[in-house]
Amino acid sequence: MEPFPEAFLQKVFSKAKTEKMSTIKVELALSPYMPGDRSYPITVERGLLDSVGRRMREAGLGGRCAVITNPYVGSLYSKRLLDSLRGAGLDPVTIEMPDGEEYKTLSSVSLVYDRLLKERFERDSTIVALGGGVVGDMAGFVAATFLRGVPYVQVPTTLLAQVDSSVGGKTGVNHPLGKNLIGAFYQPKAVFIDPDVLNTLEKREFISGLGEVVKYGVIRDGEFFSFLEKNRDRLLSLKDEITRAIERACAIKAEVVSMDERETGLRSILNLGHTFGHAIEAITGYTKFKHGEAVSIGMAMAAELSFFLGLTGKDAVRRIKDLLSGFGLPVSFRGISPPDFIETMRFDKKVKEGKIRFVLVEDIGKVILKDVDEGKLKGFLSGESFL
Ligand SMILES: NC(=O)c1ccc[n+]([C@@H]2O[C@H](COP(=O)([O-])OP(=O)(O)OC[C@H]3O[C@@H](n4cnc5c(N)ncnc54)[C@H](O)[C@@H]3O)[C@@H](O)[C@H]2O)c1
């Protein structure tokens, strides 16, 4: 493997090195429906939790705020966050929702509305989402809809939430008929990421988030992918490289979201691995794999399909699979028949005119969207992995 050039490291991460902190901006186009500048900063810094209050003030947010969290994350981090908010003169209340994907529902949202109304929250009050993607998605949806929209900030506490769900403005809840079916695009005012909170995250949750980090390298930045390869063990043990990895992942997501806020085109490259991954999650009842694990298998399969279709070489596929499995992520799953796989993927929203749409790999750092014929797909799924 090519050694990672130090000059590149200096260039990409010099800001982080000198300032011990990095702020990335999500630039958004002006919208006739939501006047004003909706662009917002993502700040990544170790220990940031203690200065969220001051930074909210600097972002023009003050007064009353509701910290939405769950009992476990709350027990770990609420006190520090509340101290920081009060220290900056804000007036916070805490609202807890039960921990778990099964509570990402309209019923939970309704309970939060009840509380906000009882507390007489107004349109200038701020929602603060403290937690993983479940809390973030639901709190964002509350913010999008309460009094027709109030400001909110994200304080994501899982790696997945830090590099993915807290950035980009997709908010929402699940419906009995499917995940994330009810929601809104609604951008936060700021995202505050403290990599130190990952120390308490279960290892499997952390590794699952690394799957999404790898994804950013594959879709947009070969040099970042090499950085991940080179620093695998340091990332796994949460050394400083994790801050850099979060920054770069957020910068890539910010760039893609800036260009296509509502997923009418480019943004769908963020779905690399998700067409296979969603099918695997659905067929295994959402219990066998964590989301990032299913996406990891999906990414490995998308890479193999790309090779099968003659779009990429073996080396790219091998590197993707090696990096994922080096992080401890699964890269294959047997036991789903090709017809079941195809049938399940047909229900995915990326199906167009009978063909199934995939994000496929041309090279590490470069992907394309392609509609794949079901016959070819069946041939691919029926064959053996070539590695
Ligand atoms: N909005 C988006 O763009 C987007 C993108 C991807 C995923 N999602 C959504 O994100 C959700 C998954 O998010 P997730 O993976 O963060 O899961 P999660 O929010 O359920 O968190 C996983 C577990 O980790 C615990 N936890 C959180 N932070 C912790 C910490 N610092 N220390 C110890 N424990 C901690 C939580 O209490 C929970 O039990 C799904 O609902 C998915 O649909 C949204």
- 3-state SS assignment for residue 239: coil
Phi-psi region of 158 (alpha: psi -120 to 50; beta: other; left: phi over 0): beta
Q: Which has more confidence, 355 or 350?
A: 355
129-184: per-residue pLDDT in tens?
A: 999 999 999 999 999 999 999 999 999 999 999 999 999 999 999 999 888 999 99
Domain ranges within the chain, ordered by starting residue? 22-196, 203-382
Helices 338-346 and 374-382, packing angle to 10 deg: 140
b/e sequence 96-128, b meaning 16+ C-beta within 10 Å = bbebeeebbbeebbebbeebbeeeebeeebbbb
Helices 203-220 and 291-308, packing angle to 10 deg: 30
Report d(CA 355, CA 313) in Å as an integer.
24
90-131: per-residue pLDDT in tens?
A: 999 999 999 999 999 999 999 999 999 999 999 999 999 999
Is the C-beta atom of 292 inside 6 A of ligand 1?
A: no
Number of H helices, E strands in the chain: 15, 12
278 tagged catalytic: yes
Site to probe by mutation for ligand 1, drawn from 137, 162, 174, 210 as the one with most ligand atoms within 8 Å of Cβ, is 137
Q: Which of 82-86, 226-230, 380-384 has the lowest mean pLDDT?
A: 380-384
267 tagged catalytic: yes
Atom number, ligand 1, closest to the C-alpha of residue 168: 3
* CATH architecture of the domain formed by 203-382: Up-down Bundle (1.20)
Is the C-beta atom of 200 inside 6 A of ligand 1?
A: yes
pLDDT > 90? residue 288: yes
Atom number, ligand 1, closest to the C-alpha of residue 292: 15
Residue 350's pLDDT band, with cuts at 50, 70 and 90, is low
Beta strands in 27-176 (DSSP E): 40-44, 64-69, 91-96, 126-131, 152-156, 170-175
pLDDT > 60? residue 6: no
pTM of structure: 0.92
For 22-196, CATH gives 3.40.50.1970
Residue 5's pLDDT band, with cuts at 50, 70 and 90, is very low
234-247: per-residue pLDDT in tens?
A: 999 999 999 999 99
